[in-house]
Amino acid sequence: MTAAAAAPAPTNAEVTLRVAELFGPTLQGEGPSAGQRAVFVRLSGCNLDCGWCDTPYTWDWARFDPAQESRTLPVQAVLDWILGRDTDLVVITGGEPLIQHARLTPLAQALAAAGRRIEIETNGTIAPPDRLIECVERFNVSPKLGGSGVPIGRRIRPAALEALRGTGKAVFKFVIGAPEDLAELADLQARFGLAPVWVMPQGTHPADVVEGLRALAEPTLAHGWNLSSRLHVLVWGDQRGR
Ligand code: SF4
């Protein structure tokens, strides 16, 4: 009796992703790569529900219609769209993109093989698999603080944070939505050894971002952190697809 042959791996035409938006070339607006030319893959779905979320159309199906806001696309179609754009950097965001990590990995592998640089933006609650880590240049990890309104047990997942820190490819970017967020950030940094830390103001209007940057500059310097603007908001306001 012979062992049954293993089923062939599904092709990139068969594996699908839930996609909210594909857009670019545009400018990465946040964190260490701010200002760099990039394309964005925004995936649908999130495991959190932050009160100040600026992309609720990726997950809040009580307010938005998934039939309008989300498409199921083959990995190959997403890959072809990206490779048809003249950009070195690919930012994969959400929602929470690591919800789909098993289906995201073949896309990341194909992009890395094509010489693209990949950043994944994640809320830090899901540990990525090794096969995905190998393909990624950086994880922009954005754990949510109390100002998000999400209970701490859902938004801070120690094992996932430690796994992301352990990749050696993570930066930790915190949206400051309330003054008390700064003290919580300092506690989390000490507890989990998070570094480097970037702080960023909340805001989807240029005036709010500028005001937030001014308020955060001195505390950021005092704590030894880095400060991120929201360049896309300063340039384009709250336009989608920017
Ligand atoms: S984790 Fe991000 S996408 Fe999800 S609800 Fe919070 S801000 Fe929105």
pLDDT in the model for residue 5: 74
Residue 3 has pLDDT above 80, yes or no: no
Local confidence band at 115 (pLDDT 50, 70, 90 cut-offs): very high
Q: pLDDT tens digits, residue range 155-178?
A: 999 999 999 999 999 999 999 978
Measured distance CA(137)–CA(7) in Å, rounded:
31
Q: What is the DSSP string of 32-100?
A: GGTT-EEEEEEE---S---TT-S-GGGT-TTTS-HHHH-EEEEHHHHHHHHHTS--SEEEEESS-GGGG
**Residue of 123, 125, 148 to mutate, ligand 1, most atoms within 8 A of C-beta:** 123
**Residue of 53, 125, 240 to mutate, ligand 1, most atoms within 8 A of C-beta:** 53
Residue 192 near residue 163 (C-beta atoms within 8 A) = no
**Residue of 40, 42, 96, 98 to mutate, ligand 1, most atoms within 8 A of C-beta:** 96
Average pLDDT over residues 131-137: 98
Ligand-binding annotation for 58, yes or no, is no
Give just the sign of the alpha carbon dihedral 160, 161, 164, 167. Answer: negative
Residue 90 near residue 104 (C-beta atoms within 8 A) = no
Distances (CA, A) of 14 to 8, 106, 186: 12, 11, 45
Ligand 1 atom closest to 47 (CA): 4
Residue 7 CA, ligand 1 centroid: distance in Å: 36
Q: Does domain 16-236 have CATH number 3.20.20.70?
A: yes
Residue 227 has pLDDT above 90, yes or no: yes
Ligand-binding annotation for 229, yes or no, is no
Residue 30 has pLDDT above 90, yes or no: yes
Strand order in the sheet with 197-201: 71-74, 16-27, 37-43, 89-93, 117-122, 138-141, 170-176, 197-201, 226-227
Nearest protein CA to atom 3 of ligand 1, as residue: 95
Residue 117 CA, ligand 1 centroid: distance in Å: 23
